[in-house]
Every structure is written in C-alpha cells, then in structure tokens.
Amino acid sequence: MAKPKQEVLSTEGTVKKYLTKKDYITFSMARFAASAISGLTQGYLLIFYTSVMGIPPVSVGVMFLVAKIFDGLNDPIMGTLVDKTRTRWGKMRPYLIFGAVPFGLITLMLFMPMTSLSLSAKMVYMYATFITYGIFGTLVGVPLDGLPAVTTPNNDERTKIISISRVVGSIGEQSALVLYSLFAIFFDMKNSFMTMGIVIGILAPIFLILGALSLKERIPATKETPKVLDGFKYMFQNKQFLAMICANLLTFFRNLVTATIIYVVTYIYFNGSLNIFFALPGAIAGMLGMLLAPKLKRMMDAKQLFIAATIFHSVALMLVFFVGFNVPWMVTAGLMFFAMLPVGILNVVPHLMAIDTLDYWEDKTGKRQEGIAFAIVSLRSKISSAFKDFVLAGLLSFFLFTSPLVSINSPSPWQLDFTRNGIFMIFTIIPAVLNLLSMVPLIFYKLSGKRMAEIQGRLEIKRSAQVIEAEAALEAAANGAEYQEPITAVSGEVENE
C-alpha cells in the first residue's frame, strides 16, 4: 500500500519532525544572502549607474523597464525549467548549488565601476550584466522560494521555516543599507559601491550553497507552474481580482520614497552615511505596520484598510514636504518614520485582498486558482518595480540631475537647486499625490467586509462538506479500499531515507 501523502505521525502519535536547528539557520542565512543581493541592487544600482558610471538617468530608466519586464515574463519559463528537472539532489537544490556562484559573480560585476568605457560600451555592459543578473536571480530565487515546500511534509515546520527565513531575509535586505552607511564614512561613493558588490557578491553564494546543501528535498513538489497567459485570462474573468491588481500596480509610486533616500542623503544632506538613519526607521516602521495589519483587518475590511493606509501615508508625506529639507536631518528622518508606518500595512493588504478575490471566485465558480493568481501578483510586483525605476529615472532627468561626465572619485557636490528640490519632491509630494491614484480602481472593487463574511460563510459550509467526504475516503482507505488523493493542501510522498 502506498504511504499516506499527509503529515507523517511517529509511532508515539506525535507529528514527526524533519528539520534540525541547523536547517533553520542555514536556510535562513541563504534567504538572508539572497535578500542582501536584492537589497543591494534595488537600493543602489540606479545611483551607481547615474552617479558613478555617468549614464544618463533616462537611459538607465529605459533599461530597468525593459529588463525587469523581460525578467517578469521569464519567471514562468524558469519555473517550468525547475519543474522538469530530475536529479538525485532533487529538482531545486542543483540550481541553488550551481547557480549561486554565477549569481554572486554577476552581482559583483554589476557594481564594477567601468568608468573608462565609452557611453555606448557602458550601456552594453549595463544591459548585459543586468539582464544576466535577472536570469540568475530567477534561477536561484525560484528554487529558494520553493524549497521550504518540499523539505518537510510537516506543516508546522514548513510554516516555521518560511516565517523565520522571511524575517531573517527582511534583515538581509537592509544589510546593504548598513554596509553603505559604514563604507560611506571611509570611502568615496565609487569605492563604497564596489566594495559592497565584492563583499555581498562573494559572501552570498557561500550562504546560498550552505543552505542548499543542508536541506533535503523530501517531497517531490507536484504544484504545476502556472502559465502567464492563463493568468491573464483569469484576471480578465475575475473582475475583483483585476481591480485589485490595477490598484496595486499603481502603488509603485510609493516605492519612489525608499528608492530616493540615497539621492536625498547624498545630494540634499551631502552625507551618504546618513542613509541608515533614513532607511532603517522606515524599514522598522514598515515591519510594525505589517504586525498591525492583521489587528486592523479585524476592525475594517481590506479595501477600507488599503484606503486608510494610503491616505495616512500620503498626508504624512505631504507634511514632510511642507516642513522641507532646510531643517536638521533628524527632523526629516523622524517624520519619515511616521510616514512609513502605513507602508507595512500596504505591503500586506494586497495579499489579503488577493485571498478575498480567490474566495470570491471560488464562491462564484467553485474554482480556486491560487497558482495562477499569485503568478499574476508576482508579475505585478516586478512590473511595479520596473515602473518605479523608470519613473524615478525619468523624474531625475526632468529635474536636470547631472551625471558626472568625467569619472571623479566623488559625485559632483553641485546639483542645481531645481534638482535638489526635485529630489525632495520625488521623496515626498510626488508619491503623496500619485499614491492616491491607486484608490481609483478600488471603485470597482466590491468585496466589502459584509460581502466577504457572506462569501466565507458559504465557503465554510462547502468546505465542511468536503472534509466529511475526505474523512469518509480515508476511512475507506484504512478499511482496505484503494487510497485516494486527499484534498487538503500538501501532497507528495515522503522520501525514503
């Protein structure tokens, strides 16, 4: 008889544990490493290209737009590739083990100041390295995300490893921030970036490989890789999901705030090492907001929460703008802490709304298409990121941001007042006003708290019936009848060890 495909009970009747402390640590460190790389590239690549490499902001913006959309479309292809892989190490670990070093190397290459090249050569270098970075990032990122699901059949362990590694990962994302603030004290901008690229590019693969070597793939994942086209079909069928995606697509304006911090500290306060005092409180405020979100969700529905958080964020940013930057930097940084509080909520709400739209669709059609929906959510996130960089680069160009023509060891200290005011506006009033646009698609989002309660009530009844059915099937299986696939979340055989 086939082994049950559910959590395995030990002989004492307790749920068997598969993961050791070491597994939690090594996997979390792998997540830390991957997040450190993404934190480095998301936070510093634009200023590296514009202020060190001397590439005009518009050209960098176009490159980000093209490369990130290409990367977003590339994701499902990488997913398929991983799905079709069969090796004795499993399907995911080989990509982490063999992809980590090239991923680290390409990260290191991204921050090599190739300042002696001509502009055309710099552009070719920029496109080639960033697109390659995107490919390796997906090649390593997809298996890294998928590994917890196949490393243990124990649901509690899986939840625990995901939660711990996510928290450690969010700390890892800030590591570049800490490094830059530290290096900026001792080095000029060019050498700070280069050293960060070298440190993270060399250390990250070590942690990624250690994480991959430590964990074992115990369950062959059966989840099908969703197709992007199916995702688009689903999006246009499920109008609530479409409204949610459109609203969230427009939230990219608020990401301008964090993306501009490095320009604010460099060109407004003339001190790159202040970066940590601006970005870290924002990150902490974001985490606090994330913790607050579930509590607030009990008081209002996801749509109300989204609107309230968006308005709070916009009003607080407007306040920072009106206070201006001719005040001690501590005042601006302190005000930014409050302005960033709703951002954590706004990071969580799309997921809550996505789940609501899934429930709505399940209630309406009987189908629950999580894979497809989250593939679109992930694509939306990449497109938002591409738009954010494109808009930021475009605005910098509009505000006459000057890239240095000659490679000098410090960025030009003199940007026009128009540029410095423009940078402060990109940091405050521009996202404050444009953020409000994200509320417009929500006019068409009808999943209010009352309606969701009704939907969830109906679904609960339906699911209870399904559980009774499943229990009956299991009972039949225990009585010798042929085992049938359980309908609960995780499936997959436990690997013989």
Partner 1 sequence: MNKKKWIMGVALILVCIFVLAACTAKEGTHFEKLKQNIEKLQENYAEVLKNIAQETNYRYTIEFESETLSNYDDVNRLMPGEREPSQSKMWYKPKLSYTYIQDGADWYVELEYTEHKTNADGVPQYTDKGGKKPEYLNVVRAEYRYVGSVLSVKVDDSVVYTGTLAGFDPSDYTHDILYLGSGNQLEQFLGAIDEDVVYSAVTRSWFGQKILSYRTYQVRATGLASQYESYKDSALTSGYGEDLSFDWEKVQDVFNQTFSYTAKKDRLVKLEYYTEVIGSYQRSNSWYGDRISASKTIIEITYPTAKKPVTIPA
Q: How many residues bind partner 1 (CB under 8 A)?
A: 36
Q: Is 77 in the site for partner 1 (CB under 8 A)?
A: yes
Determine which helix (DSSP H) or strand (DSSP E) holds 169, and give its type and residue range: helix 155-173
Does residue 405 interact with partner 1 by CB under 8 A? yes
* 54 lines the binding site for partner 1 (CB under 8 A): yes
Instruction: Tell me the per-residue interface mask from 347 to 386 with partner 1, x by CB under 8 A, - otherwise.
Output: ----------------------------------------
Quick check: 403 binds partner 1 (CB under 8 A)? yes
* Region for 13 from its dihedrals, namely left if φ exceeds 0, alpha if ψ lies in -120 to 50, beta otherwise: left
- Contact between 434 and partner 1 (CB under 8 A)? no
Find the shortest distance in angstroms from Cβ 142 to partner 1: 15
- Select from 60-68, 302-310, 354-362, 469-477 the region that touches partner 1 (CB under 8 A): 60-68
Q: What torsion, rounded to 10 degrees, do the Cα atoms 304, 308, 311, 316 define?
A: -170
C-alpha distances in angstroms, 125 versus 109, 113, 197, 480? 9, 11, 16, 65
Q: Does 51 bind partner 1 (CB under 8 A)?
A: no
Does 324 engage in binding with partner 1 (CB under 8 A)? no
Residues 6+ away with beta carbon under 8 Å from 96? 30, 140, 143, 144, 147, 208, 209, 211, 212
In the block, residue with structure tokens 């960025």: 411
Shortest distance (Å) from residue 384 CB to partner 1: 19
Does position 63 bind partner 1 by CB under 8 A?
Answer: yes
416: left (phi over 0), alpha (psi -120 to 50) or beta: beta
Contact 195, 40 (CB under 8 A): no
Query: Residue 50 in contact with residue 262, Cβ under 8 Å?
Result: no
What x/- string results for residues 116 through 145 when contact with partner 1 is judged by CB under 8 A?
--xxx--xx--x---x--------------
Complex with partner 1: residue 119 or 434, whichever CB lies closer? 119
Nearest CA-CA partner of 47 in 192, 170, 174 = 192
What the block records as the tokens of 23 is: 């597994």
Cβ neighbours for 495, distance < 8 A, ≥ 6 positions apart: 216, 217, 218, 219
**Least separation in angstroms between CB 187 and partner 1:** 12
How many Cβ atoms from other residues are within 10 Å of residue 87's Cβ? Answer: 11
Which residue of 3, 17, 20, 73 would you call a contact of partner 1, by CB under 8 A?
73
- Compute the CA torsion angle 80, 82, 84, 86 (nearest 10 deg): 180
d(CA 257, CA 247): 18
Tell me whether residue 123 or residue 209 sits nearer to partner 1 (CB atom): 123
Closest listed residue to residue 129, CA positions, set 201, 177, 78, 206: 201
Of 26-34, 156-164, 361-369, 411-419, the window that binds partner 1 (rule: CB under 8 A) is 411-419
Q: Report the interhelical angle of 329-365 vs 275-299 (nearest 10°).
A: 40
Q: Which stretch binds partner 1 (CB under 8 A): 97-105, 112-120, 371-379, 450-458?
A: 112-120
**Is 345 an interacting residue with respect to partner 1 (CB under 8 A)?**
no
- Minimum Å gap between C-beta 418 and partner 1 is 5
Q: Closest separation between CB of residue 336 and partner 1, Å? A: 24
Listed ranges 11-19, 51-59, 307-315, 346-354: which one lies at the site for partner 1 (CB under 8 A): 51-59
| Window 437 to 466, contacts with partner 1 (CB under 8 A) | none
CB of 428 to partner 1, least distance (A): 16
Of residues 400 and 437, the one with the C-beta less far from partner 1: 400
Tokens 């982490």 belong to which residue? 96
C-alpha span between 138 and 452 (Å, rounded): 35
Beta-ladder partners of 9: 15
Which of 15, 62, 112, 300 contacts partner 1 by CB under 8 A? 62
Q: Dihedral through CA 361, CA 363, CA 368, CA 370, nearest 10?
A: 50
Q: In angstroms, give the least distance from the CB of 47 to partner 1.
A: 17
Q: Is there binding between residue 435 and partner 1 (CB under 8 A)?
A: no
Residue pair 7/73 in contact (Cβ under 8 Å)? The answer is: no
Find out whether 64 and 393 touch, Cβ atoms under 8 Å.
yes
Residue 264 DSSP code:
I
What value does the CA radius of gyration of the chain take, rounded to a whole number of Å?
24
x-marked contacts with partner 1 along 184-203 as a string, rule CB under 8 A? -x------------------
> Quick count: other Cβ atoms within 10 Å of Cβ 350?
19
Q: Quick check: 67 binds partner 1 (CB under 8 A)?
A: yes
Is residue 326 near partner 1 by the rule CB under 8 A? Answer: no
* Residue among 37 and 135 whose Cβ is closer to partner 1: 135
Rule CB under 8 A: say whether 409 interacts with partner 1: yes
Residue 91: CB minimum distance to partner 1, A: 18
Quick one: which of 315, 400, 487, 489 contacts partner 1 (CB under 8 A)?
A: 400
- The contact set with partner 1 (CB under 8 A) reads 54-56, 59, 62-63, 66-67, 70, 73-74, 77, 118-120, 123-124, 127, 131, 185, 398, 400, 402-403, 405-410, 412-414, 416-418
